Each structure stands twice: as C-alpha cells, then as structure tokens.
C-alpha cells in the first residue's frame, strides 16, 4: 500500500476514500500520540500511531486530554465510593435492626441473619 500524499487528498471525493476514512478514524482514537510520528492523516495532520491507556491508569495521566477528563473520572470514582458505602452501611444497619427486633418465628433468615421481619408487614 502506498501512503496517501497531501497532494492527492480530495475532501469531497465521490465515492469516498475508505482508506483515508480509516486513517482519520485511527488519528482520532483516544490515546497518547507521539509528536514526531511520520504516519499522519492527510486531512487533519494528526498522528495515526498511538498507545492505548490502561483501564486502571492514574487520573493524572489523562491531563493531556484537557482538564475536564481527569475531573470527570475522579468525580465518578468518588460518587461510586459514596453510593457503595451508603448501600453497605444501610444494608448492615437494616440487618442489625431486623435482627434485634426479630423473634424466632416472625423472621426470614438467610445464612443465619434475619433479613425480613413479618411483623412489620
């Protein structure tokens, strides 16, 4: 395959050049793009080569994408932590409350813990 030259780039070509569209797609994938790359998209001059970011990377590694991306993922992590702690604490307190208020025949037990009290229904 011969590389696409900027002289041969026609933005309004019919039918469109699929190889150029795939190059453009690779140029705009999220990842770290090297500055000194030779392989570039002819329409936007963006590097086609990139390295993927790991899923559990540090939030500070996303700073090259702008200030909103690290803040969004930090916000998402904190929200999940708060929701998880509310579910765990709420469930533990509910099991403790039902267990203290439960007689032997008015409760449904699961793994030895009272989970539903029939007298409340």
Confidence at residue 120, expressed as pLDDT on a 0 to 100 scale: 55
Q: Find out whether 82 and 75 touch, Cβ atoms under 8 Å.
A: no
Contacts by 88-92, CB closer than 8 A, 24 or more apart: none
CA gap 118, 65 in Å, rounded: 55
Confidence at residue 73, expressed as pLDDT on a 0 to 100 scale: 87
Confidence at residue 40, expressed as pLDDT on a 0 to 100 scale: 82
Element (H, E) at 23: helix 18-27
Q: Collapse the DSSP code of 22 into the 3-class scheme (helix H, G, I; strand E, B; otherwise coil) and give the result.
A: helix
Domain residue spans of the chain: 1-52, 55-121
pLDDT digits (tens, 9 = 90+) for 26-40: 888 888 878 787 888
Tell me the two tokens of residue 117.
């009290």
Q: Find out whether 30 and 53 touch, Cβ atoms under 8 Å.
A: yes
**Mean pLDDT throughout 12-20?**
81
């Amino acid at each position: 395959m011969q590389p696409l030259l900027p002289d041969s780039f026609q933005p309004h070509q019919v039918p469109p050049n699929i190889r150029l569209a795939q190059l453009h797609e690779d140029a705009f994938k999220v990842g770290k793009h090297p500055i000194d790359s030779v392989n570039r998209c002819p329409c936007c001059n963006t590097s086609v080569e990139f390295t993927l970011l790991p899923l559990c990377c540090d939030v500070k590694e996303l700073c090259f994408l702008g200030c909103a991306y690290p803040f969004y993922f930090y916000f998402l992590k904190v929200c999940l932590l708060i929701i998880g702690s509310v579910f765990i604490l709420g469930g533990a307190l509910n099991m403790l409350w039902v267990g203290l208020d439960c007689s032997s025949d008015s409760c449904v037990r699961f793994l030895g813990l009272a989970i539903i009290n029939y007298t409340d229904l």
